[in-house]
Structure 1
C-alpha cells in the first residue's frame, strides 16, 4: 500500500487492491464503458470511400438524429459523438475531402464562419473561457477519420483539466448530447 496523498478523504481500508494490477492508489474509478465503442472503432470507415464515411451519412439524417447543430451551403456543424469536453463540436464540409488544401473557397468560408458561430453559441450557453480549435490532417497526425476533413471546436474552462482526464483518462459530461445539441441550435447566432 502506498501513502495517501495529503488531505485524502480515503482511508487505507477504503482502497481495494485487485490482484495483478499493481499498487493500490487513492483514486476512485468512474467507469465509462460507452467509450469502448470509440476505442473499438465504432462508426470508423473501413475504407476511404465516401459510402462508408459517417461524415457523409450524417447530413442525410434529421438534425436531431445526426446531432447537427447548424447547416450552411458547403459545411455543417455537428456535435462530436465522443466529446473531449461538453459542447465539443466539429465543422465538416459536405464534400468528402481529406486535405485542407483541397477545399474550395466556398468550403473554406463556410468552415470559418461556422467555427466563429460555434464559438459564439457555446459561449452563450456555457460561458466557455476559451477554445481549442484545429484539424488533425492525416491518420499519423491523430485524425480519427482521416478521409473526411473536420475541424474540432473544443470549449475550455479554467480548471477543466483535472485528474479525471489526465490521470483517469475519463471525461465527465454533465449533459446528454441531444440536450446539448438542442441548446446550441436554439442559441446559434443568425448570420
Structure 2
C-alpha cells in the first residue's frame, strides 16, 4: 500500500459515518485484503503518528482540551489523521489552523477531538485474522510488532517540550482565544 491509497481509504472511511463505523468499515476492508495490507496500512499510520508526535502539536492539543495526557495525545493524533490528508498537513504546518477548523462536525459524538478506534484497528484486524477474535494475545502481538519492524516502523522517541503551560497563550493566540478559557472535553 502506498500513501496515496492510505489517504484514499481514510477519505472513504470518513464517508461511512461516525468514528466507530469508519473503523469497522476500514477493519473489514483490510481483513478482506489480508495480513499484508493490514501491516502496510498500520506502517503508514504509524509513520504519520510519529510525524505528528511533536512538542508544538502537543501544546496545541493541550490548549484545545485544557490539558492533554499521553493517551489523549495519541487519540488526538489518531483523530487528526482521520480528518484526512489535507487537514493533517495543514495542522502539521500550523496547529493554529485548528482554531478555525474545529466545530461539532469534526469532533466525535461526545465532542472530543480524539479517535482511539483508528489507532487500534490494525492490531484488532490482525488479531481477528490470526485468532478469530480481537482478544489480547502476547504471541500474536509480538508477531505484529515484528512485521511492522520489518516495514521500518520504529518506536517514537521521547519529546522534549519546548513550552511551559504559561507559554501557551502566547504560542497559540488563535487557539487560546477560542479554547483557552473554554476547552473541549477530553477523556
Larger RCO (CA within 8 A; separation ≥ 6): 2
Larger radius of gyration: 1
TM-score calculated relative to the size of structure 2? 0.26
- Give the structure with the higher percent helix: 2
TM-score calculated relative to the size of structure 1? 0.25
